[in-house]
Chain A
Amino acid sequence: DAGVTQSPTHLIKTRGQQVTLRCSPISGHKSVSWYQQVLGQGPQFIFQYYEKEERGRGNFPDRFSARQFPNYSSELNVNALLLGDSALYLCASSRTSDQETQYFGPGTRLLVL
């Protein structure tokens, strides 16, 4: 089975622009989570979606939004980009039940100039 895939791999934007990041979970996985990893830090939880509904949200501003599609893929949108949004954005998928291993994709590296 293919792992979690993310696109694009790298992205350069300027302040004030908007960006959309995409994630395809492992086949059969219905839960998708998004994390932001700033250089030198551990990943921080942004969103969790399960069965197309938002099930959790981290401490991020409303500029961050996400959605999950019927095929369980997901998009993360960030509006009005700031320099501080420069980070590695990671997507993770897991199966339906709790206490499940989360499998991470390779990430999208976003640079905001």
Chain B
Amino acid sequence: SQQGEEDPQALSIQEGENATMNCSYKTSINNLQWYRQNSGRGLVHLILIRSNEREKHSGRLRVTLDTSKKSSSLLITASRAADTASYFCATDVPDRGSTLGRLYFGRGTQLTVWP
């Protein structure tokens, strides 16, 4: 089963509004990463937050991580039509003592931003 689950599955907003997407996961992690995917193309990395971090910013993006609740949120402020895409959270999970993790993805949130 997939480790991360995003909520909501779909989100529709107007340009200029903020968009918030949530992610829940099941096991301990090395880090959590957020990716964007346009129309079934390759994944674009947005931000990585480590397990010992609680909040991180990058431009219009703000990510929080609550390891006690095993959850994360991605906030996109002042959204634009170009932000329309699928957004995935991916948890980097340690594997049998290896320091190299593997990414587990949720099903994603489809964000639509209307002009």
Contact = CB atoms under 8 A, between A and B. Distances in A.
B62 to A, nearest CB: 18
The majority secondary structure among interface residues of chain B is strand
B106 to A, nearest CB: 5
Interface of A: 4, 31, 33, 35, 37, 39-45, 48, 50, 55-56, 58, 88, 90, 92, 97-99, 101-107, 109
30 contacts: A35-B103, A35-B105, A39-B40, A40-B107, A42-B90, A42-B105, A42-B106, A42-B107, A43-B88, A44-B2, A44-B105, A50-B100, A55-B98, A55-B100, A56-B100, A90-B42, A98-B94, A99-B30, A99-B101, A101-B33, A101-B45, A101-B48, A102-B33, A102-B103, A104-B35, A104-B42, A104-B43, A104-B45, A106-B41, A107-B42
Interface of B: 2, 4, 30-31, 33, 35, 40-45, 48, 50, 88, 90, 92, 94-95, 98-108
